[in-house]
Structure 1
Amino acid sequence: MKKSSLFIGLFIAVLIGIAIIGFSKVSQANAKITEGSDNYTISETWELPDELDEISGIVWIDDHTLACVQDENGIIYLYDLDEKSIREEIPFSGNGDYEGIALHKTDLYVMQSDGLLYEIKDWRETNRTISSYQTGFKAANNMESLTYSAKDSSLLTAPKDKDANDEFKGIYKISMTSKRVDVNSPTYKIEMNAEALKNYRDKKLRKTFNPSEIAVHPKTNDIYVLEGKNPKLLILDEHGNLKNVYKLDEINFPQPEGMTFSADGDLYISNEAVIGAATIHLVDFKML
Structure 2
Amino acid sequence: MKRANLYVGLFVAVLLAVGIIGFSRVNKANAKIADGMDNYTIAETWELPVELNEISGMVWVGNNTLACIQDEDGKLFIYDLTDKAISEEIPFAGKGDYEGIALYKDDMYVMQSDGLLFEIKNWNTTNKIVSTHKTGFQDANNMESLAYSALDSSLLTIPKDRDSKDDFKGIYTIPLSSKKADTNTPAYKIEMNAKALKIYRDKKLYKTFNPSEIAVHPITNDIYVVEGQHPKLLILDANGTLKTVYKLDEINFPQPEGMTFSEEGDLYISNEAVNGTASIHLVELKVTKS
TM-score by length of 2: 0.99
Counterpart check, 1:38 vs 2:38: yes
Counterpart check, 1:101 vs 2:104: no
Q: CA deviation at 1:63?
A: 2.8
The separation in 1 between residues aligned to 2:101 and 2:180, in whole angstroms, is: 17
Give the corresponding residue for 1:80.
80
For residues 220-265 of structure 1, give each alpha carbon's deviation from its aligned partner in whole angstroms, at most 9, with x where no partner exists. Answer: 0100000000000000000000000000000000000000000000
1:7-46 equivalences under 5 Å are: 7-46=7-46
Gaps of 5+ in 2: none
Give the corresponding residue for 1:210.
210
Give the corresponding residue for 2:201.
201
For the 8 Å contact 1:55–1:258, the answer to whether it is kept is yes
* Equivalent residue letter for 1:208: T
The separation in 2 between residues aligned to 1:286 and 1:224, in whole angstroms, is: 15
Residue 215 of structure 2: SS of its match in structure 1?
A: strand
The separation in 2 between residues aligned to 1:178 and 1:46, in whole angstroms, is: 37
Residue 119 of structure 1: SS of its match in structure 2?
A: strand
Q: CA deviation at 1:275?
A: 1.9
* Equivalent residue letter for 2:218: P
* Equivalent residue letter for 1:256: P
Counterpart check, 1:66 vs 2:66: yes
The separation in 2 between residues aligned to 1:266 and 1:123, in whole angstroms, is: 24
Q: CA deviation at 1:277?
A: 0.9
1:186-265 equivalences under 5 Å are: 186-265=186-265
Give the corresponding residue for 2:271.
271
- The CA RMSD over aligned residues, in Å, is 0.6
Residue 29 of structure 1: SS of its match in structure 2?
A: helix
Q: CA deviation at 1:55?
A: 0.1
Give the corresponding residue for 2:149.
149
The separation in 2 between residues aligned to 1:222 and 1:127, in whole angstroms, is: 35
Residue 125 of structure 1: SS of its match in structure 2?
A: coil
Give the corresponding residue for 1:126.
126
Give the corresponding residue for 1:51.
51
Gaps of 5+ in 1: none
The separation in 1 between residues aligned to 2:281 and 2:275, in whole angstroms, is: 16
Residue 282 of structure 1: SS of its match in structure 2?
A: strand
The separation in 2 between residues aligned to 1:106 and 1:220, in whole angstroms, is: 23
Q: CA deviation at 1:175?
A: 1.0
Give the corresponding residue for 2:163.
163
Counterpart check, 1:185 vs 2:147: no
For residues 101-140 of structure 1, give each alpha carbon's deviation from its aligned partner in whole angstroms, at most 9, with x where no partner exists. Answer: 0000000000000000000000111010000000000010
* Equivalent residue letter for 1:48: L
The separation in 1 between residues aligned to 2:72 and 2:128, in whole angstroms, is: 22
Give the corresponding residue for 1:283.
283
* Equivalent residue letter for 2:126: T
For the 8 Å contact 1:63–1:262, the answer to whether it is kept is no
- Report the count of equivalent residues: 288
* Equivalent residue letter for 1:35: D
Residue 9 of structure 1: SS of its match in structure 2?
A: helix
Q: CA deviation at 1:150?
A: 0.2
The separation in 1 between residues aligned to 2:261 and 2:46, in whole angstroms, is: 16
Residue 4 of structure 1: SS of its match in structure 2?
A: helix
The separation in 2 between residues aligned to 1:53 and 1:124, in whole angstroms, is: 23
TM-score by length of 1: 0.99
* Aligned structure 1 segments of 4 or more residues deviating by more than 4 angstroms: none
Q: CA deviation at 1:67?
A: 0.2
